[in-house]
Structure 1
Amino acid sequence: MDLDTLRSLRLRAQGLRAPIDASAPEVVRRFVAVQAQEFLPSQWGLAMRVPEDRRPDAAAVATAIDAGHILRTHVLRPTWHYVHPADARWLMELSSERVHRQNGLYYRRTGVEGDVAARGLDVLAETLTGGHRTRAELASALETAGTPFTGLAFTYLLMLAELERVAISGANVGRQRTYAAFDERVPPSPPRPRDEALAELAARFVASRGPATDRDFAAWSGFTLTDARRALADAAHLGGGGRLETVDVDGTPHHFDAASDRSMTDAPGPVVDLLQAYDEYIMGYAAPRDYLFPPGRSLSTVPEFPMHAVVSDGVLAGRWAPVVDERRATVKLAPWRTFSRAEERSFAASVADLERFLGVPVTVDRIAG
Structure 2
Amino acid sequence: MTHQEISHHRLVAQKLLEARPNSPQEIVHHLGAMQAQDYAMAKWAVGSRCDATEAAIEEAVNSAKIIRTHILRPTWHFVAADDIYWMLDLSAPQVKRFTASAAKKYGLDAKKLDKLNAAIEKLLAGNNYLTRDEIMMELNIKKTSSEDFLSAAIMMNAELDGLVCNGKMKGKQITYALLEERVAKPKTELAKEEALAKLAKRYFESHGPATLLDFSWWSGFSPTTCKPAINAIELQLNSVEIENQTYWFGNEYSNEVNLRESIHFLAAFDEILISYKSREASILLEHQSKAFTNNGIFKPIILENSKVIGTWKKTIKKDHVKIETQFFTETRASEKEILLEGIKAFENYLETKIVIE
Same fold per superposition (TM over 0.5): yes
Is residue 319–residue 334 contact of structure 1 (8 Å, CA) maintained in 2?
yes
- TM-fit CA distance, 1:66: 0.6
Partner in structure 2 of residue 283 of structure 1: 274
Q: Deviations over 1:313-357 (max 9, x none)?
A: 121211111112453211121111133567534422221111111
Alignment of structure 1 residues 79-158 onto 2, 5 Å:
79-130=75-126, 131-143=128-140, 150-158=147-155
Is residue 32–residue 202 contact of structure 2 (8 Å, CA) maintained in 1?
yes
Partner in structure 1 of residue 348 of structure 2: 356
Partner in structure 2 of residue 330 of structure 1: 322
Note if 1:254 corresponds to 2:247: yes
Computed over aligned residues only, the root mean square deviation of the Cα atoms, in angstroms, reads 2.1
Alignment of structure 1 residues 1-369 onto 2, 5 Å:
1-20=1-20, 22-50=22-50, 55-130=51-126, 131-143=128-140, 150-189=147-186, 190-236=188-234, 242-267=235-260, 269=261, 271-287=262-278, 289-294=279-284, 296-298=286-288, 302-303=292-293, 304=296, 307-325=299-317, 327-339=319-331, 343-365=335-357
TM-score where L is the length of structure 2: 0.92
State the AA in 2 paired with 1:142. Answer: L
State the AA in 2 paired with 1:332. Answer: E
Is residue 243–residue 259 contact of structure 1 (8 Å, CA) maintained in 2?
no
Is residue 330–residue 364 contact of structure 1 (8 Å, CA) maintained in 2?
yes
- TM-fit CA distance, 1:87: 0.4
Cα distance between partner residues in 2 of 1:18 and 1:61 = 18
1:247–1:65 Cα change, 3 Å: same
Is residue 73–residue 95 contact of structure 2 (8 Å, CA) maintained in 1?
yes
Cα distance between partner residues in 1 of 2:251 and 2:140 = 54
Show structure 2 runs of 5+ residues with no match. Answer: none
Q: What SS does structure 2 have at the residue aligned with 1:143?
A: coil
1:220–1:15 Cα change, 3 Å: same
TM-score where L is the length of structure 1: 0.89
State the AA in 1 paired with 2:47. Answer: A
Partner in structure 2 of residue 239 of structure 1: none
1:112–1:18 Cα change, 3 Å: same
Show structure 1 runs of 5+ residues with no match. Answer: 237-241
Is residue 110–residue 152 contact of structure 1 (8 Å, CA) maintained in 2?
no
Report how many residues are paired.
349
Q: Deviations over 1:127-180 (max 9, x none)?
A: 111322222321222129xxxx94211111000000001101111111111111
1:305–1:124 Cα change, 3 Å: closer
